[in-house]
Amino acid sequence: MKKIITNKLEIYDSDDTTLRKVFYNTGFSNIEYDDLLPNDGWTNAPGGAAPDVVNHTIAGVGFQFMSFDGGNTEERISNSFEILHGVDIESLNAGTQKLEIHTHGMASTTASGVVKIFFDLVYFPLNLAPVSMGSYSVLIPILANQQYFHKVSGVEITKPTSNYNIGDKIKVRYRRTPTDAEDIYGGDWLFEQCAIHAPLNSNGSRQRYSKL
């Protein structure tokens, strides 16, 4: 049974009480947003450019973090994201919607400052040459006594010269350059996550490699 309620459609079993599915509508479009998540593991840059793995005890629990240097060394990791089948390819290619890359993390000390994180992006369409998407950065302000406070910051991505399509990949190099003039936090940045906000308009695609 279908029940149409303001801004959503609810699907129930024949008993009219067991809710099975909810479809939302903002009243302006059928766009919803979710995260494109990276592959299972991040790849470190070689040698001293790799972030250290450090231990921090937070709320009585010991955790390990990839820790990005607050001194003189640029440290880098890399991973890739797949354009999933529910992504609104048409709006992205028309430019009415954009992807947003963002990072989660936290300060390792009680000091104040600003962390600057860079994202270097390359688009990998299926069976075609890779396309540079350029470099982006975010500034993450940290106030005094915000050690271990969860921080998130993101930036919209300009569309590549090729069209987006499901199954394509976006590779990202994630880095901190602590000698950058805008990076004024002396402590290490504790990496939590990097993901891409994406507009969705369906649960999937009608074909394995095509949205149509």
**Is pLDDT larger for residue 138 or for residue 207?**
138
* Residue 20 confidence (pLDDT): 61
On the question of pLDDT at 3 being above 70, the answer is no
| pTM confidence score | 0.86
On the question of pLDDT at 151 being above 80, the answer is yes
Domain ranges of the chain: 1-28, 31-200
Say how many CA atoms lie within 13 Å of 110 toward its Cβ. Answer: 1
* Residue 8 confidence (pLDDT): 64
Topology classification of domain 31-200: Jelly Rolls (2.60.120)
